[in-house]
Amino acid sequence: MTTNPTLTVQDLSVVFPDSNGGLNALENISFDVSPREFICFLGPSGSGKTTLLRVLANLLQPTAGQVHFIRHEQPKIGMVFQQPSLMPWRSVLENIKLPLELEGVDESTARKKAQEMIELMGLRGFEDSWPRDLSGGMAQRVGIARALIHDPDLLLLDEPFASLDALTRERMWMELSRIWQAKQKTVIMVTHSINESLFLADRVLVLTQRPGKIKLDVEVDLPRPRKDDIRYTPHFGKLARKLREAIE
């Protein structure tokens, strides 16, 4: 395994050109990410969360400011998009193994790893299904499997659990925590759920309404591993209230 990236974001601004002088999506965003830290971004719709992830994944050039990775190289990224973004001409298994294919991993190893991911995501029996035959939640799990399969150093997750039912979602929280702890990954995740962020993250950053600025940066000092009943503790309640106030 390669060393983890430490990530520094400096005075980042993104302006999308439009007819009346440009749309400020992000304004003066600065933050640091320590190795193997789990960070959640919360913020109202349109606050630029997806835009921020796209800049971090090098899919979008910022208008101003910089993103520095340690050793100045782009880390290996696994990204879960807000829309599942599956290839309709590939079966579930073929979609999941795409990153390994691009890395030139041999076919049988790739299939075996994809099969493991399918088990992990509770997708057994759907290996050969076409994406259009999947429910929204299943498609999203395929997207998660694809983001994890090539063992990336940095995970960028854009509301990955939004279309899952409550039970599956909590199972996915457990899986993600487990993978994150076992595999030493850095995770940056966007979510709308305060519970989700407190359950998973080391740190939660709240963005303001457009243009997105960092409004709050809180350490989540809840003990790990976090179990379901942690949400009834007073400290959880206090953090949740703080975040809710920051969001609105």
76-115 residues near ligand ATP, rule: CB under 6 A: 82
Stretch binding ligand ATP (CB under 6 A), from 46-54, 111-119, 173-181, 193-201 = 46-54
Among the listed ranges 23-31, 85-93, 198-206, 237-245, the one in contact with another protein (CB under 8 A) is: 85-93
Phi-psi region at 223: left, alpha or beta (left = phi > 0; alpha = psi -120 to 50): beta
- Determine which residue in the list 76, 210, 215, 242 makes contact with ligand ATP, applying CB under 6 A: 210
φ and ψ of 13, to 5 deg: -130, 140
* 171 is a contact residue toward ligand ATP (CB under 6 A): no
Is 50 one of the binding residues for Mg ion (CB under 5 A)? yes
Residues 209-248 that bind another protein (CB under 8 A): none
Among 42, 51, 54, 236, binds another protein (CB under 8 A): 54
Residues 6+ apart with CB under 8 A from 59: none
Q: Say whether 135 sits in a helix, a strand or coil.
A: coil
How crowded is residue 145: how many other Cβ atoms within 10 Å of its Cβ? 25
We find the least distance from the C-beta atom of residue 99 to Mg ion, in angstroms, to be 22
x/- contact string, 48-67, with ligand ATP (CB under 6 A)? xxxx----------------
Strands 154-158, 77-80: pairing is: parallel
The reply on whether position 47 binds Mg ion by CB under 5 A is: no
Residues binding another protein: what is the number (CB under 8 A)?
24
**Phi and psi dihedrals of 226, rounded to 5?**
-90, 125
Chain center to CA of 169: 14
- Near another protein by CB under 8 A: residue from 25, 57, 144, 157: 57
User: How many helical (H) and strand (E) elements, i.e. helices and strands, does the chain have?
Assistant: 7, 9
- In whole angstroms, how far apart are CA 246 and each of 11, 36, 168, 215, 242? 21, 26, 28, 7, 6
Closest approach, Cβ 89 to another protein, in A, equals 5
Q: Which does 77 bind (CB under 5 to 8 A by kind): ligand ATP, Mg ion, another protein, none?
A: another protein
What's the min distance (Å) between Cβ of 53 and Mg ion? 8
Q: Residue 47: which of Mg ion, another protein, ligand ATP, none does it interact with, CB under 5 to 8 A by kind? A: ligand ATP
- What whole-number distance in Å separates Cα of residue 39 and Cα of residue 157? 10
Interacting residues with Mg ion (CB under 5 A): 50, 82
